[in-house]
Amino acid sequence: MKRTMIALGCCLLMATPVLAQSVGEKTGVNSVLGVAPTTADFVRQAAISDMFEIQSSKLAEQKGDTATKAFAKEMVADHTKTSTELKSLISAGKVKAELPTQLDDAHRSKLDKLTSASGADFNETYVEQQISAHKDAVSLFDRYARGGESAELKTWAGKTLPALKHHLDMAQTLDKQRSNTTSQSTKPGK
């Protein structure tokens, strides 16, 4: 009976869908340990990240202040480009993985929060989400570029990484500028 249960458990584990993230990626353990994600996890996370960047930045182009709109415009252009490149690698057969077609629940929730925000709250929420998303993306791409399974995808991740680091720097600068402006406008006499 015990062997049957173990065998059944093994069969269930092996039947896990290919699109499902590994436990290490889902919990962030791989990131903390610096372990490269599997190709399936990398493709899934990179594609969802691009979808989120594009959708949230299109919202920011409509609802943000001038500085936020300028940043968002660049995010839409750059993440549309990386999304197209990733799709090309997969459609050309250079990378064997499935592309997700929609955001996961976590990113959908972030987008919903952004959709309901307005004014200064929108700008602050958008920039905070961009910093967090780009920190995650830099970690993901760096880990895959150093230790991923697919040579083609490792090369692409390595070539894409500097742009993601630049996006993170831009988001952090935008946040600092916003913080400086906010702190100056709340000083007495202002």
> What is residue 190's predicted lDDT score, i.e. its pLDDT?
45
How far apart (Å, rounded) are the C-alpha atoms in residues 74 and 81?
A: 11
Going by pLDDT thresholds of 50, 70 and 90, the confidence category of residue 6 is: very low
Interval 94-103 mean pLDDT: 92
| Domains of the chain, residue spans | 36-177
> Which of 123, 125, 128, 134 shows the shortest CA–CA distance to 66?
123
Give the CATH superfamily of 36-177: Ferritin, core subunit, four-helix bundle (1.20.1260.10)
The number of CA neighbours under 13 Å toward the Cβ of 64 is: 22
Maximum mean pLDDT: which of 8-22, 129-143, 169-183: 129-143
Going by pLDDT thresholds of 50, 70 and 90, the confidence category of residue 16 is: very low
Phi, psi for 103 (deg, rounded to 5): -65, 150
Percent of the chain with pLDDT over 90: 72
- pLDDT above 90 (res 11): no
- pTM of structure: 0.79
Going by pLDDT thresholds of 50, 70 and 90, the confidence category of residue 52 is: very high
> What is residue 132's predicted lDDT score, i.e. its pLDDT?
96
List alpha helices for 103-150, DSSP H: 105-116, 119-147
Kindly give, in sequence order, each residue whose CB lies less than 8 Å from that of residue 122, ignoring residues fewer than 6 positions away. 60, 63, 64, 68, 114
Going by pLDDT thresholds of 50, 70 and 90, the confidence category of residue 32 is: low
Going by pLDDT thresholds of 50, 70 and 90, the confidence category of residue 36 is: confident
